[in-house]
Structure 1
Amino acid sequence: MKTSTASTLQDKTYDTLRHWLMLGRWLPGERLKIKHLADELAISPMPVRAALQRLAAEKALQNTPNCGVMVPRLSTDQFDDILANRILLEGEAAYLGAQRLDEDTRQQLVRLCQAMDTAIAGDDVKTYLDANELFHLQLYRASGSPLLLSLIETLWLHVGPISNQLHQDLAVWKTMNDAHHSLISALLAGDAAAVRAAIATDLHTAGSYLRTLCVNKN
């Protein structure tokens, strides 16, 4: 029973820290302190340490000598690779999801798009990122492929930290919902191919700016 309980706590801690990474809770280069996270989660350091090492093994975090666990900085080559795969996988998930969405979920996407408009107008990055994540998750879940969604979430782990900096360029920030509006229009028109294209546009729009925040190792 104790082993099962400890395992459950470790899994829960891992899921929480993984989700925080995807949402950009921490910035590239930021050091993650075990005690601070344990205090924040009101748990002992052990499951936090295990979760961080698990994320480091997945290369979502980085073990750095004398510094502990840190959020890695992406190179431009790494970012380009991630973006290309996101367009492939998320485009396919959106294409399949667009054909299978029920009406309630379709209307939820409309409301989330409106929520992102409000967040951008109020310069509320956290609310935007939360709504954006749910918007994409709801669409991709409708694809009916848990494996496809799992692969997409793995890629999100690597870009979450820099995604939290989208608001730093006002011109980019104000356009972050444009592709979502195009997606909604395509969705309501029953045009799955246009939904896929809107996802590609969305990723390219954010990616063109986020790439400038990466490290050029060439």
Structure 2
Amino acid sequence: MAMSDETFSESLGEDIYRQLSDRLVQGVLRPGERLKIRDIAIEMGTSVTPVRDALLRLVQDRALYLRSPRDIRVRTVGMDEYLEVREIRVELEGRAAAAAAERATEADLKRLDKLVRENARALRAGNKRLTTELNQRFHFEIVRIAQMPVHAEILRRLWLSLGPWISENYAMASPLMIDFHYAAVEAIRRREPAAARQALRDDIVIGGGAIMKNYLGQTEGAAGFPDPGMSIALSTTTK
């Protein structure tokens, strides 16, 4: 059966939305970057209408902001918003890691091992874009293994605004950013939900501190902005 024009248009719009979402989540687009509708339409070989519709959806998702009808830009995340999102991630991704420890197959573990190895190589090579992408894929892979689709959708929306910010502040990349990935994989391999949960929380709070340190321009304190991180770590371990 031939696809109707309306169905084709909806499918095309969804595809463009997903492509742009991936660029945001993976940090391909930078905070404050202007997205030109016509340029994107030419790149994707389509008209401006589905591109405009996709961009407006991302404005509603709070990933982009509308300065004017002709000026749509990637949102810049402030520190207060980052800390709020970080606390949500600590809880949701911690739960997902615990579930993954109960459900992971050998094939799942092989994929996680491969992502960690590739991420370490990209970090050593100074490939910021690939390092950011692999970090995101690692976190999303754990949620996939956990079989928690509601968590996955919530986290995807959070990463829409977070991805560009994380990528922007990966400039001074540190091995600390992925150190806890090893601990998370080992805990999942050993079927230890509590340890897996803690490893993901440590990764987000302590490992992510290297990103915050770069953002704040600090010269001391590996975790950077230690007080909020410490309060989150203490509150989550006492629950």
Task: Give TM-score scaled by structure 2 length.
Answer: 0.83
Q: Percent same amino acid among aligned pairs?
A: 27
Q: Is the 8 A contact 2:177 2:208 kept in 1?
A: no
Q: Which has the higher contact order (CA 8 A, sep 6+)?
A: 1
Given the alignment of the two structures, is residue 57 of structure 1 paired with residue 71 of structure 2, yes or no? no
In the TM superposition, 1:13-24 aligns within 5 A as 13-24=16-27
In the TM superposition, 1:1-218 aligns within 5 A as 1-65=4-68, 68-170=71-173, 173-211=174-212, 213=215
* Residue identity in the other structure for 1:104: A
* Residue identity in the other structure for 1:38: A
Secondary structure (helix, strand or coil) at the match of 1:70 reads strand
1:23-73 CA-to-partner distances (Å, cap 9, x unmatched) read 111111111111111122122111111000011012111001376111111
Q: Is the 8 A contact 2:30 2:164 kept in 1?
A: yes
Query: How far 1:196 moved relative to its partner?
Result: 0.9
Query: How far 1:207 moved relative to its partner?
Result: 3.5
Q: Is the 8 A contact 2:178 2:207 kept in 1?
A: no
Number of aligned pairs? Answer: 212
Task: Give TM-score scaled by structure 1 length.
Answer: 0.90
- Structure 1: distance between partners of 2:55 and 2:151: 24
- Structure 2: distance between partners of 1:65 and 1:207: 34
Q: Is the 8 A contact 2:28 2:129 kept in 1?
A: no
Q: Is there any run of 5+ residues in structure 2 with no aligned partner, and where? A: 217-239
Q: Is the 8 A contact 1:38 1:44 kept in 2?
A: yes
Secondary structure (helix, strand or coil) at the match of 1:24 reads coil
Superposition CA RMSD, Å: 1.7
